[in-house]
Amino acid sequence: MQHLRVVSPEAVTAEVRDLLLAEPGATHVTVLAGVALQPVGDVVEADVTREAVDRVLDGLCGLGIDGTGGVTLETIDTTLSDAADRAEEAVPGDPQDAVIWDEVVARTGEDSRLSISFQTFLTVACLLAAIGAITNSPVTVVGAMVLGPEFGPLAAVAVGIALRRGDLVRRGAVALAVGFPLAMVVTAAATLLFDAVGLLDATSLDSLDQVDFIYQVGWFSFIVALLAGAAGMLALTSAKSASLVGVFISVTTVPAAAFASVALVEGRFAEAAGSVLQLVVNVVGIVLAAVAVLVASRRTAGARRGGLRRLSTG
């Protein structure tokens, strides 16, 4: 269930209340008259099953609430209520599978920002992956995979393509186009430092049997990227976000970017080229699969009349 909180101008509160009372998937409807101060109005609250959230949001925005008031959604972890159980049963489908499209747009818009924290996490992840490769340590490489924040921009690109949201595509593409090269430059500088202090030499990369998957590209590289992209988007659009950790461990975007820098500095151009190709294969595979999942989800749920509302992700 989702807890819905609406700040409504007094003139339309009755319509908001009637909309929620008429929705089979809504319950625990409460009206608090005159308590909202900024903006001025009433507060209407309800608990709404995930399958009905999109329909309710459409109705609220049809009343202009997104412009004259405000709408807030929060996930409810535990509900002890026969009324809530009846609301769940009254709406077809499984709440775990329901997609709240506005939530997806807002979340991917936020996660794809090119921020200081995003760049820091990506750079640290690349440095860890580089050290893992140099020391032939798959555990360190896996740790870098988990730490890498790159799935956010990749998901934003996929959502932008599927929903024809150019702003999301641009935001995700900029984060990737700026974030990876900058992290790779820092990783290359770190490699030079390792060389200078004697922690690394050309022979250190001769035996990488535990981490050679980073630069060895094959059909399974693309297949794994497709599977990871599909699983990642399913986790993002459903109530199973914990599955994203498995997605992070499945793909080698960060290790490939990191090892490309290391191999290039050490003059191992074949491995560097293989790493770059691995990076491209993973990015393309993830985005293609994520777009396919989104398109299938929209077709299954039915196209929302009038298209999706544009949320502010700025």
Question: Each residue's pLDDT tens digit in the chain (314 positions)?
Answer: 899 999 999 999 999 999 999 999 999 999 999 999 999 999 999 999 988 898 899 899 999 998 999 999 998 888 889 998 898 888 877 766 677 878 888 878 788 889 999 999 999 999 999 998 888 888 999 999 988 899 999 999 999 999 888 999 999 999 999 999 999 999 999 999 998 888 876 666 777 778 888 888 889 989 999 999 998 888 888 756 655 666 667 778 999 999 999 999 988 899 999 999 999 999 999 999 999 998 888 776 654 333 334 443 44
Between the CA of residue 29 and those of 37, 74, 87, 298, what are the distances in Å? 21, 15, 12, 29
User: For position 160, what pLDDT does the model report?
Assistant: 92
User: For position 197, what pLDDT does the model report?
Assistant: 87
User: For position 118, what pLDDT does the model report?
Assistant: 93
Nearest to 83 by CA among 45, 27, 162, 124: 27
Nearest to 275 by CA among 287, 248, 257, 254: 257
User: For position 123, what pLDDT does the model report?
Assistant: 96
Task: Give the DSSP letter of residue 11.
Answer: G
Residues 6+ apart with CB under 8 A from 159: 104, 105, 108, 165, 168, 290, 294
User: For position 243, what pLDDT does the model report?
Assistant: 58
Residues 6+ apart with CB under 8 A from 144: 125, 126, 128, 129, 132, 254, 255, 258
Between the CA of residue 240 and those of 99, 131, 249, what are the distances in Å? 11, 32, 16
Nearest to 141 by CA among 227, 262, 230, 273: 262
Which residue is associated with the tokens 């509302």? 309
Angle between helices 219-237 and 269-301 (to 10 degrees): 40
- pTM of the prediction? 0.78
- Sheet containing 40-48: give its strands across: 26-37, 40-48, 2-8, 70-75
> How far apart are alpha carbons 292 and 228 in whole angstroms?
12
